[in-house]
Amino acid sequence: MGDPAEKTCPDASRRGLRDAPTPLVPPLTEFCQTYIVKKPLGLRITKNTFQVTHIDPNSPLRGLVFLGDTLSALNGKKIKKYETIEQILGEKAERVKMECQHGGFSCSKLLATTIERVHVGTDLDKPAGRIVSRYAVWLRFPDAENHSNSLGLTIKYDSRERLIVADVEPGSLGSIHLSPGDVIKEVNDQPVSSITMFIFNVNKSCVTTKTVKLTLECLAGGQEIHDEALVADDAVDIAVQHLDQEKLKPAKYAQRSG
């Protein structure tokens, strides 16, 4: 079957590939694609590396080109300087032929599938009866000057004091593999318990390695994890205890008449 890292791909969906351990930065495959689209492109591109750093919600390339991709040619002409892009896009033609180098900027891998557990009391965990999947997601930051909120995520606490993805900016780097309701457990294999810790580790990776690894959990089958109607912790604990008591009661059978 080969090395697990060989099974990763640049546009892997959040479905498991292998259950073996994976390196921090798995090798990602680069490939080119060509599109003929109407102008304007609705992209923000760096002037030195020609990488895509922003995608407008109304861009004709939305869903085709992603953050971190590189614009390599326009109308068959290789891009070597930013002035070439301005010149070709400034022409009167309604459409433009664009060659894009997908940079292998992200991938994901299923680590395990297990039963979600609800914390009851101080040192006791109870199974909640829902199947959750744990994923590792690797994201490579584009070569952008402004690293503020590079992932495009809004993080919040839920009633169990977990870090939950509250919102994902459309077209952002985080929108490829994360969705609202995902529970963030680790950043670069380090457990995170606060929003400040999450932001610090992400910013550190953005500046140093330009790659971050997120470990997250979501309901198996691609559904979102939602807290039980966003109720308080004591209400969740009481409900779980009541459910356990009901399971211990003997079953009642109706008597047949006649």
The tens digit of pLDDT for each residue in 119-143 reads: 555 555 555 567 788 888 888 776 5
Distance between CA atoms of 25 and 41, rounded to whole angstroms?
Answer: 31
Strands (E) across the chain are located at 31-38, 43-45, 52-55, 70-74, 77-78, 95-102, 106-120, 124-140, 153-157, 163-168, 183-187, 190-191, 211-219
Q: Which CATH number describes the domain made up of 106-246? A: 2.30.42.10
Whether the upstream peptide bond of residue 40 has omega within 30° of 0, thus cis, is yes
Q: Cβ contacts of residue 9 below 8 Å, gap of 6+?
A: 28, 29, 107
Written out in words, the top-level CATH class of the domain with range 30-102 is mainly beta
Instruction: Compute φ and ψ for 234, nearest 5 degrees.
Output: -65, -35
- In the chain, the percentage of residues whose pLDDT exceeds 90 is 17
| 3-state secondary structure string across 18-64 | CCCCCCCCCCCCCEEEEEEEECCCCEEECCCCCEEEEECCCCCCECC
CATH code 2.30.42.10 region(s) in the chain: 30-102, 106-246
pTM assigned to the model: 0.53
Identity of the highest mean pLDDT range in 67-76, 96-105, 118-127, 164-173: 67-76
Residue position matching structure tokens 């892997």: 12
Residue 117: per-residue pLDDT: 64
Q: Which value, in Å, is the radius of gyration of the alpha carbons in the chain?
A: 23
Ranked by mean pLDDT, the top range of 5-9, 74-78, 153-157 is 74-78
